[in-house]
Amino acid sequence: MLLPSHPLVQFKCGDHICLFYRDEAALAETLAAYLAAGLRNGERCFCAQKSRFIPRLHQALAQAGVDVAGETARGALEIHTDEEVYFASGRFEPEIMMLMLERSIEEALANGFTGFRTAGEMSWALEQTEGCPNGHCDQLIDYEKLVQAAYPGKAAIGICQYPIDEFPRHILDAVLDFHRITLEETMVGSNHSTLTIRSGDYLADIVTDRVNPGGAFHYVVQERGNTEVLSWGIEPTIERALLSSESILTDFGTNRADRMR
C-alpha cells in the first residue's frame, strides 16, 4: 500500500480539531491526507460524512494512494453517512454518542490499533427534524463540550467539520470554545489555510500553504476579541511555527495568571 507524504499538520493524540471549510474539493484533499496519516500510524479511522460527499472522499483517498477496499476489509477504515452515525437511534443523543466514542477508542486499542482517528461532518445539526424544529445546534454544542473534556490523554484524534458559510456566526463562536485547534480555508480558490491554536484568552494564527508547504510559515499571536498583535514571527516549517506559537501562548497565559494573583 502506497501512502502519501505527511500532511501539512501532524496532529497528536488528544487533539480535538475544528475544521471550517467552504470548498468540498479542498475538504476531500485535507481529509484524505489526515486519514492516510492515521492509517500510516496504525490507527483505526472512522468517518461520518454526507452521503453525497462519500464518493468524493473515496476518490481523494484513492488518489492519495490508499487502498480503500483493503483498509475497509481489515477494519482500519470505516466510512458511514452522518445520519447512520448521529441518528442511529432515530434522534441525536450527546451522552450516548460520547459513550459510543469512548467504547470505540477502547475497542480500537484492544484490536491492536495504535489509536482511533475520526472525521465527522456537523452540518446535520442545522436540519429541522420532528421534535427539533430549530435544528440540533444546542445539542451539538453540548456534545462538543463532552468531547473536548474527554479527549486529553486519550489515544484519539478527532476532526469536526463545519461548512463555515452555512452556520450562524454565534454557533461557530460557541463551537470554537470547545476546540483547542481550528483549521480554516482562507478563501475559495486559494491554496492557503489558517491554523488557529487557542489557549485561554489568547490565540495564534498560522498561515499555511496546502499545495506548496515548503515555504515560510507566518504566525500572529493576539488576545481573543482584540485585533492588537502581541507577537509575530516566521518559521521555515509548520512544526517550528507550532512550537513557537505554543511557547508564546504559554508565556502570555502564565504572565496573565501572575498579574491576577
pTM over 0.85: no
* Cα separation, 233 vs 129, whole angstroms: 47
Give how far Cα 62 sits from Cα of 68, 80, 233, Å: 7, 17, 37
Task: Report the b/e string of 215-224 with b at 16+ CB within 10 A.
Answer: eebebbbbee
* Cα separation, 253 vs 246, whole angstroms: 10
Q: Determine whether domain 1-189 maps to CATH 3.40.50.300.
A: yes
* Cα separation, 240 vs 44, whole angstroms: 28
CB atoms within 10 A of CB 73: 10
Indicate where the chain has its CATH 3.40.50.300 domain(s): 1-189
CB atoms within 10 A of CB 153: 8
Quick one: how far is CA 48 from the chain centroid? 13
Q: How do residues 196-244 score in pLDDT, each as one tens digit? A: 877 778 888 888 765 565 667 888 898 888 889 899 888 887 778 878 8
Residue 12 class from Cβ within 10 Å (0-12 exposed, 13-18 middle, 19+ buried)? Answer: exposed
* Cα separation, 19 vs 161, whole angstroms: 5
| C-alpha triplet 146, 52, 98: angle, nearest 5° | 15
Cβ–Cβ < 8 Å for 111, 44 = yes
* Cα separation, 225 vs 212, whole angstroms: 31
Q: In a structure prediction context, what are the per-residue pLDDT tens digits for the chain, which is 261 residues long?
A: 223 334 556 788 999 999 888 889 888 988 998 999 999 999 999 999 999 999 999 999 999 999 999 999 999 999 999 999 999 888 889 999 999 999 999 999 999 999 999 999 999 999 865 555 457 888 999 999 999 999 989 999 999 999 989 999 889 888 888 887 777 754 444 556 777 877 778 888 888 765 565 667 888 898 888 889 899 888 887 778 878 888 888 888 777 666 656
* Cα separation, 144 vs 151, whole angstroms: 11
Whole-number pLDDT of residue 4: 34
Provide the residue count of the chain. Answer: 261
Residues 6+ apart with CB under 8 A from 157: 11, 12, 13, 14, 15, 16, 17, 38, 43, 115, 116, 117, 118
